[in-house]
Amino acid sequence: MTEPTFADLVSRWYEENARDLPWRKPDVGAWAILVSEVMLQQTPVVRVLPAWEAWLARWPVPAALAADSPAEAIRMWGRLGYPRRALRLRECAVAIVERHGGSVPDRLDQLLALPGVGTYTARAVAAFAYGQRHPVVDTNVRRVVCRAIAGEPDAGPTTRPADLVATEELLPEEPAAAALASAAFMELGALICTARTPRCGQCPVESTCAWRASGQEAPAGPTRRPQRYAGTDRQVRGLLLGVLREATGPVPHQRLDQVWADDVQRARALAGLVEDGLVEPVGAEAFRLVGDGPSLPLPDLAR
């Protein structure tokens, strides 16, 4: 009798223990999966769930989002963070309509050519929406493979080409089984093989894990220092966007001045929002979300 492979063991565990997430339902289409993958970047599942449901209720297909304004995409994004993702997702919807007749493409090269779709997202959509065999490598997957196969406690902060190769070598040859394994590797890293407090006793591959066999401990500190938020330009940008999202028209400069006391930092944050294409000036003394009206020349913010 053939011994079960690494992918077999993790996939069996996944089928019994996977979280019941709506974008994993069998009838969920590629557009819904693409939206979930963009939203889940640097954002916890608990925060994504209501935003994903609201987004798909309003824009169930790419054409619906493409026909709406960038401002509405930013408004719907709410406080998920990194709001440029909302703009990239709308640009992606426009490209899907223009290049692919409104249907999310199933070819990896076409997915990679979409605005804002990188190596991870393209492979995730190809695997999870279309059942294809591609290594889908995020932080959780890199950690699982690094520990179980390479015997190292941590995979480091960034994905390397070698990570894709190492993960692909573990995938079954049959595409549907490979797609299942990709989801299983990810879930194992998220729930069991966590960065600081791995639950090795509940791991389906504990007996063959090279890291467990080595006796090494998990790293004491984070691979990357958490980014400070309070008092940063990111916080000021968020406060400014909050006012602009709730407005029904242009917001006077004087109203935005009330958001943050430091004039220099506030002006820098506002200029950054304009530069990132999230906000546009209206005359010399007002601003609004991009796409709510005709864009005018940027006024002097360093006053």
Give residue-wise pLDDT tens across range 96-150. Answer: 999 999 999 999 999 999 998 999 999 999 999 999 999 999 999 999 999 999 9
- Which residue in 253, 239, 260 sits closest to 283, CA to CA? 253
Of 16, 37, 187, 217, the active-site residue reads 37
- Helix spans in 59-151 (H): 62-66, 70-77, 84-100, 108-112, 119-130, 139-145
Q: What percent of the chain clears pLDDT 70, i.e. is strictly above it?
A: 93
Return the SS3 of 79: coil
pLDDT of residue 225: 60
* Cα–Cα dist 136/186, whole Å: 8
Whether residue 288 is predicted with pLDDT greater than 70 in this model: the reply is yes
pLDDT tens string 50-104? 999 999 999 999 999 999 999 999 999 999 989 999 999 999 999 999 999 999 9
pLDDT tens string 49-63? 999 999 999 999 999
Return the SS3 of 236: helix
| Known catalytic membership, residue 98 | no
pLDDT tens string 37-53? 999 998 999 999 999 99
- Residues belonging to the chain: 303
The pTM score is 0.89
